[in-house]
Amino acid sequence: MFAAACGSRPSLVPPAAALQNASLDQLVSAFNQRAAAIHTMSLKLTLTAAAGKKKYPGVNSFLLTESPASIRVWGTFTLVGRLFDLASDGENFELSLPTRNQLIVGKNNVIPPDPEHPFNTLRPQVIRNALLINPIADGLHVAFDPDESPDTYDVLVLAPGRNQVDTLRRRITFSRVDLLPRRQVIYDGDGVHATRATYGHYITVSGVAVPLQMTIERPVEGYTLRLQVNSSGIVLNRPFPAPNTFTLAQPPGSTLTKLAP
């Protein structure tokens, strides 16, 4: 009898979160305000990578970025030291691989296919573009996707093209629970390459919402990066003391490899 009474007890189901409403202008304005509020950013994080069926263990990493386009990411591993150091001014990039005693330099927009070694195609701007710190530029067109889910807003960002045919540059998905970006697809502009980024577990730092979980996928190149940000390792808008923060010097005795433009 007691068991029967317990078995008939209704399960506790948390109420569904209330959905918020926003206009297209409100979403774009809020997105741009958050992005423009970050001039410099320093993150301490764990970087996990995967390529095909291969998964690589998490690496203790640091990420620095400064407007308008500079970024630097390096990772270390216990007993090994620094595994890589990646820097870019927005146009050119430098990749130092201490374990190979090699420095690779090239252009961000030059990505030769390398199916056997997908991470050779990694460019630092792929990471920077996914960090939600690039406002939607003036002159671009925006529109709601008419096929959006009822609990999200999908905003299309388009560049004016020839013969009045626009080119899709970004698709940003906002949750209607908190009106924050949850997904972003960024198109390189060549009609082939694209970045798929997802965001979760936001916290507020200096009045700005920052996601602690980010996943960056490059389907064509075949790799995935997962960034787990340390909540106590976020610093916004503090100037970097060194003027060459985003430039790598060639280590003595290392091999310099220049990728063809």
What span, in angstroms and rounded, lies between the C-alpha atoms of 249 and 251? 6
Per-residue confidence (pLDDT) for residue 5, from 0 to 100: 46
192-to-134, 145, 186, 229 alpha-carbon distances in Å = 21, 21, 11, 30
Q: Contact 157/172 with Cβ under 8 angstroms?
A: yes
Per-residue confidence (pLDDT) for residue 3, from 0 to 100: 44
What span, in angstroms and rounded, lies between the C-alpha atoms of 90 and 80? 29
First and final CA of the chain: distance in angstroms? 79
Indicate yes or no: pTM above 0.95: no
What span, in angstroms and rounded, lies between the C-alpha atoms of 207 and 209? 7
Per-residue confidence (pLDDT) for residue 162, from 0 to 100: 82
For the chain, 261 residues long, the average pLDDT of each consecutive 10-residue run is: 49 72 97 97 97 89 96 89 92 91 90 79 92 95 90 95 88 96 92 91 97 96 96 96 90 87 71
What burial letters (b/e) apply to 222-242, b meaning 16+ CB within 10 Å?
A: bbbbbbebeeeebebeeeeee
Per-residue confidence (pLDDT) for residue 218, from 0 to 100: 94
Domains assigned to the chain: 37-258 (2.50.20.10)
Per-residue confidence (pLDDT) for residue 9, from 0 to 100: 60
